[in-house]
A and B are shown apart, each in its own frame.
Chain A
Amino acid sequence: MPNSASGAPSSLSLLGSELKTLFRRRRTAAMLVALAAIPVLIAAAVRLSSSVPAGRGPAFLDRISQNGLFVAVTAMLVSVPLFLPLTIGVVAGDTIAGEASLGTLRYLLVAPAGRVRLLLVKYAGALAFCIAAPVTVALAGAAIGASLFPVGPVTLLSGDVVQPPEAALRLVLIAAYLAVSLAGLAAIGLFLSTLTVVPVGAMAATVVLSVVSQVLDQLPQLEWLHPWLFTHYWFGFADVLRQPVLWDSFASNAMLQAGYIAVFGALAYGRFVTKDVLS
């Protein structure tokens, strides 16, 4: 039935449907639960051990027993190198390839969803997960931290002390920093997903790229390359734990991720718009 309304509301309805399909999926729920388990495990380990020697284990670990909010910080730090990229790889690698392997891609296109519109909605869905994943870690961390440990004023890296509401805001900032960090990876996954009808292949390739990028970032011989690696600023979020907040790494990170989104978005567009859908 032709609808005279403009494209905007109906694009929203496709986005709504995409988000519903993504987050209703048991696999998505399982990944979020697994992410939420990280801070729970950390908190339980700290609670059950007598004391954590300062300077050992992940950063901030030794502060947890004094302030439960550090569970969230530690958990986010721990999940940056592998757990977050793993889940983003699964979601972004599945975007187009997953539909192709189910065969639903042809029905979405015949509906007609429009190839560009579908690609944009798919990326928006992956971005929503990029936000949901670190937020889940932060929320679970704050919740378990608050229930097992005292919550009080937080001493920032700059030495300043902030009250818990301000500290919670900093947690939100870290989650936002991580969401931005993962946006470039999601664009890479989206592009890889347009290349294949085997979603697992695109997922694995995306995750492998994130690991390779982090390894390259460790090699001093490749120092010239480091600022261009999409993982380069992934650990820069400590800057939001200073007073006043240092926005430099946040801005550099956002610029870099925007570049990756532009390049891999264009590649995904070029590939998907001309692709024969034969699955």
Chain B
Amino acid sequence: MTAAGGTAGPGIAAARTTSAGNGTTGLTIETQGLTKRFGHQLAVDNVDLAVPHGAVFGFLGPNGSGKTTTIRMLLGLAAASAGTVSVLGLPMPQRLHEVLPRVGALVEGPAFYPFLSGTSNLHRLDAASRHAAPATRTARVAAALERVGLSRAAGKRVHAYSLGMKQRLGIANALLSPRELLVLDEPTNGLDPQGTREVRSLVRSLAADGATVFVSSHLLAEVEQICTHAAIMSAGRLVAQGPLAELRQAGETRIRLLTPDAGAASEVLLRLGMSPGRGTPEPDGDVLTAVAAASRLEAPEDIVAELVAARVRVRGFAVERESLEERFVALTGEGFDIAQ
């Protein structure tokens, strides 16, 4: 299943998922042509998501790139302007009542009744579900609070909670019942480093239990640490998706050459089929960079041999893989923390 829909830049062909076959088999979330229009603004534009079963799926993108709107459509909170959504193999929002009891969600930050305690809030939200057994409610609420480390603050009014505590309570709400899919929108927002680490290990343990976890984030490092798969949104479009390893490999390998003989070196590189570009000069000489794959030679060290044979003084030579972060920035056209 190809993603990206031709919107990706050169050298980053649409990534492939490891989905076991076509259709809904093996995919926990699948959208086709998902589009959301608000007036003239296209918030989500023709998105084909494919989240494999059992994946920890990172949903990346700058703020305002359409992540939360996509999540709202996945959960049946907002109607799609066009396209289809299937969650846990069932069409949404048509089969919402069968799907949502199996899904735990944290959408656009936690939200609670400030005048109720943490426990009362969870009781209320659990009572909202037709499928949650009232008999086990007290035990399940206590277990969820325990799991996010809020047991001691459970009796306090949420009014007195810090943002991090509310975030934990929001995650506890998502864990009130055993879930097959967890949709966590910015789960570490407002958490201290300790809390961030706990969320990471929580996500890993949920995945180990067999749940599929869909984590949206604008923090690349977070996704790199916990995810098996990722998708990147930019300005409403899905620009790449696939297993994290493949996304990393799809980046270009470049050579970086430090030499005082920039002119001669350029000629050699051009002869080898590369189109060298100038980097920032260093005290030892000029810096040339080029895409390694464009070379007619297999091994990068052969390039060095050619250069030396042409009497180019090579003072530095490196083969550099584009980092995931550089790639994401290249795809989204901006830094990840830039708010719109």
* Contact between B105 and A3, CB atoms less than 8 A apart: no
User: How far apart are B164's CB and chain A's nearest CB, in angstroms?
Assistant: 17
Q: How many pairs, one residue from A and one from B, have CB atoms within 8 Å of each other in the complex?
A: 107
What are the interface flags for B292-305 relative to A under an 8 Å C-beta threshold, 1 for contact and 0 otherwise?
Answer: 00000000000000
User: How far apart are B261's CB and chain A's nearest CB, in angstroms?
Assistant: 60
Determine whether B200 belongs to the interface, using a CB cutoff of 8 Å to chain A: no
CA distance A7 to B100 in the complex (A): 16
User: How far apart are A146's CB and chain B's nearest CB, in angstroms?
Assistant: 34
CA distance A149 to B197 in the complex (A): 68
Q: Name A1-32 residues within 8 Å CB distance of B.
A: 1-3, 5, 7, 9-11, 13-14, 16-17, 20-21, 24-26
Q: Name the residue among A13, A17, A26 with the largest chain B CB count within 10 angstroms.
A: A13
B: number of interface residues (CB 8 Å):
39
One of B120-128, B282-290, B325-333 at the interface: B120-128
* Contact between A13 and B134, CB atoms less than 8 A apart: yes
Nearest CB to that of B79 among chain A residues? A276
Determine whether A255 belongs to the interface, using a CB cutoff of 8 Å to chain B: no
* Contact between A104 and B113, CB atoms less than 8 A apart: yes
Determine whether B245 belongs to the interface, using a CB cutoff of 8 Å to chain A: no
Q: Which of B77, B110, B127 contacts A17 (CB 8 A)?
A: B127
CA distance A114 to B127 in the complex (A): 12
* Contact between B123 and A25, CB atoms less than 8 A apart: no
* Contact between B134 and A10, CB atoms less than 8 A apart: yes
Determine whether A55 belongs to the interface, using a CB cutoff of 8 Å to chain B: no
CA distance A277 to B73 in the complex (A): 10
Q: Which of B75, B116, B127 contacts A13 (CB 8 A)?
A: B127
Chain A residue numbers with a CB within 8 Å of B129 are 10, 111-113
* Contact between B130 and A117, CB atoms less than 8 A apart: yes
Q: With A10-B134, A110-B77, A112-B96 in contact, do A25 and B115 touch (Cβ < 8 Å)?
A: yes
What are the interface flags for A107-119 relative to B under an 8 Å C-beta threshold, 1 for contact and 0 otherwise?
Answer: 1111111100110
CA distance A2 to B110 in the complex (A): 24
Q: Is the interface of B mostly helix, strand, loop or mixed?
A: loop
Q: With A276-B78, A278-B72 in contact, do A102 and B111 touch (Cβ < 8 Å)?
A: yes
User: How far apart are B58's CB and chain A's nearest CB, in angstroms?
Assistant: 21
Chain B residue numbers with a CB within 8 Å of A106 are 72, 77, 107-108, 111
Determine whether B41 belongs to the interface, using a CB cutoff of 8 Å to chain A: no
Determine whether B103 belongs to the interface, using a CB cutoff of 8 Å to chain A: yes
* Contact between B111 and A10, CB atoms less than 8 A apart: no
CA distance A246 to B79 in the complex (A): 51
* Contact between A108 and B128, CB atoms less than 8 A apart: yes
Known pairs A1-B132, A13-B127, A104-B111. 19 more at Cβ < 8 A? A1-B178, A3-B130, A5-B133, A7-B130, A10-B129, A14-B127, A14-B128, A14-B130, A17-B123, A21-B124, A103-B109, A104-B125, A106-B111, A107-B128, A110-B75, A110-B103, A112-B130, A276-B79, A278-B77
Pairs across A and B, CB under 8 Å, 21 listed: A1-B133, A3-B130, A10-B129, A10-B130, A10-B132, A10-B134, A13-B127, A20-B124, A102-B114, A103-B111, A104-B113, A106-B108, A107-B173, A110-B77, A110-B107, A111-B100, A111-B128, A111-B132, A112-B101, A118-B128, A277-B78
